[in-house]
């Protein structure tokens, strides 16, 4: 733990220096947009939420090789059900209550949110709804606010930001595979043992924001169970989350305020499965920029220890192989390494239309030549804003993958060559 804290501190110092050198240097401060409202801003009870009807489609190319030849591939099927290559879906439908605990104590805020959509939170034994957030924030100590309960963990910008203002339909490959955690009982299982993490944990967090040198600085230190949402700890280990950002705010407020932000983060803990107890470490450094019609973001992420390693033969998890001897498993490598990054640029063409392009890379299992896989995606996106609370987004994802250390004729490369492009159309309505 001491080594993680030291490395994190050095990275944070470097990020702050680089940002200060940039001169006029935010995107939103996600730490402060939940549970820190002043009494005048937060009524005793405020009901809010959003819905995201979504359509996705691929060509539906079947697996061309391996033990599941001719069957549906996991990457060409539409999540979370993976029964087809095109589908209408209510990707998210979230309803919550937030507010201040006034007049009893105006320095206490609460936040509650539940998911009713069809996604990785509700599809894996979660039923028709699942609580994603249930936290209380105590704003009594200057410089050290305290949040307890279940809430978003500080980390990658893609995972940390509010999903209803996310500029794309799908996450990058590195965020989806390395940061969005999936929980299993064993290194090879036909199904998950519950919902995905949803970038959340149950625990306690100390955090705050302060101004110094004309810049806004934010920090967070959190201890959590490291076992996902809506359940307790399973192995007596704790997850340590560290976060630091330094920003120069240009103007505005809320999720789309203008400015330049640099940030670093680290998550470290252990996971216990049938094969034993293993480390799980994630870290990242990135920046975001938003001013006028333009936005830009970039982030570099590393993963060490337990990592998601795809499905057997690229098949849909649980599918029976052609020899009728076994089912396709979800594979987790207990001691893997990975890295990835993304670059994103967007521009508001008019008050109604915005376009964007995102390039993302994931290099998975870099410590094992045979198992190493590389993923690259270019996403072209456009958004139409009906009003500040309702928008429609269209994405076209050009996807490719390879096993770089194997011949092009090897079965893994034949399978990966069959990865289709993907289109998505999504409406977001906030209330």
Tens-digit pLDDT profile for residues 351-366: 999 999 999 999 999 9
Inform me whether the pLDDT recorded for 306 exceeds 50: yes
Q: How confident is the model at residue 10 (pLDDT cuts 50, 70, 90)?
A: very low
β partners of residue 219: 208, 244
pLDDT over 50 at 268, yes or no = yes
Distance CA(56)–CA(268), nearest Å, equals: 34
Per-residue pLDDT at 104: 83
Cis check for the bond before 38: say yes or no (omega within 30 of 0). Answer: no
Q: Where do the domains of the chain lie, and which CATH numbers do they carry?
A: 2-430 (2.40.160.10)
Which ranges constitute the DSSP H helices of 31-105?
none
pLDDT in tens, 13-50: 434 333 333 332 335 789 888 778 665 555 678 899 99
Q: What is the pLDDT of residues 189-242, one digit of tens each?
A: 999 999 999 999 999 999 999 999 999 999 999 999 999 998 899 999 999 999
Q: What is the pLDDT of residue 33?
A: 83
Query: What residues contact 199, with CB distance under 8 A and at least 6 apart?
Result: 152, 153, 155, 156, 159, 160, 179, 180
Is pLDDT above 80 for 172? Answer: yes
Rounded CA gap, 401 and 59, in Å?
16
């Amino acid at each position: 733990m001491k080594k993680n804290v030291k490395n994190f501190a050095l990275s944070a110092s470097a990020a702050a220096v680089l940002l200060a050198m940039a001169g006029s240097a935010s995107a939103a401060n996600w730490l402060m947009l939940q549970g820190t409202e002043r009494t005048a801003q937060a009524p005793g009870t405020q009901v809010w939420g959003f819905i995201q009807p979504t359509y996705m489609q691929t060509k539906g190319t079947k697996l061309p090789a391996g033990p599941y030849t001719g069957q549906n591939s996991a990457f060409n099927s539409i999540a979370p059900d993976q029964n087809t290559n095109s589908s209408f879906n209510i990707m998210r439908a979230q309803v919550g209550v937030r507010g201040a605990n006034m007049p009893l104590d105006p320095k206490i805020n609460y936040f509650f949110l539940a998911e009713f959509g069809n996604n990785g939170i509700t599809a894996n034994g979660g039923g028709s709804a699942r609580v994603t957030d249930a936290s209380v924030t105590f704003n009594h100590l200057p410089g050290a606010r305290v949040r307890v309960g279940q809430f978003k963990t500080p980390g990658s910008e893609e995972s940390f930001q509010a999903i209803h203002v996310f500029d794309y339909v799908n996450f990058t490959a590195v965020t989806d595979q390395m940061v969005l955690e999936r929980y299993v009982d064993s290194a090879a299982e036909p199904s998950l043992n519950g919902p995905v993490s949803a970038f959340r944990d149950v625990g306690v967090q100390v955090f705050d924001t302060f101004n110094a040198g004309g810049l806004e600085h934010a920090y967070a230190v959190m201890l959590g169970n490291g076992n996902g949402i809506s359940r307790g700890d399973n192995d007596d280990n704790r997850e340590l989350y560290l976060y630091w950002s330094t920003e120069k705010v240009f103007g505005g407020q809320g999720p789309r305020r203008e400015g330049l932000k640099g940030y670093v983060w680290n998550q470290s803990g252990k996971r216990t499965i049938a094969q034993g107890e293993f480390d799980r470490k994630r870290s990242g450094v990135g920046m975001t920029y938003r001013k006028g019609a333009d936005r830009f973001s970039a982030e570099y992420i590393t993963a060490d220890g337990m990592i998601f390693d795809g499905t057997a033969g690229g098949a849909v998890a649980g599918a029976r192989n052609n020899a009728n001897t076994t089912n396709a498993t979800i594979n987790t490598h207990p001691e893997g390494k990975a890295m990835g990054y993304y670059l994103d640029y967007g521009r508001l063409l008019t008050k109604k239309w915005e376009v964007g392009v995102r390039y993302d890379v994931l290099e998975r299992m870099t410590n094992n030549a045979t198992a190493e896989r590389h993923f690259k995606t270019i996403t072209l996106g456009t958004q139409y804003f009906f009003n500040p609370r309702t928008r429609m987004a269209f994405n076209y994802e050009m996807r490719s993958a390879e096993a770089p250390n194997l011949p092009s004729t090897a079965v893994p490369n034949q399978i990966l060559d069959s990865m289709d492009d993907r289109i998505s159309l999504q409406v977001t309505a906030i209330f």
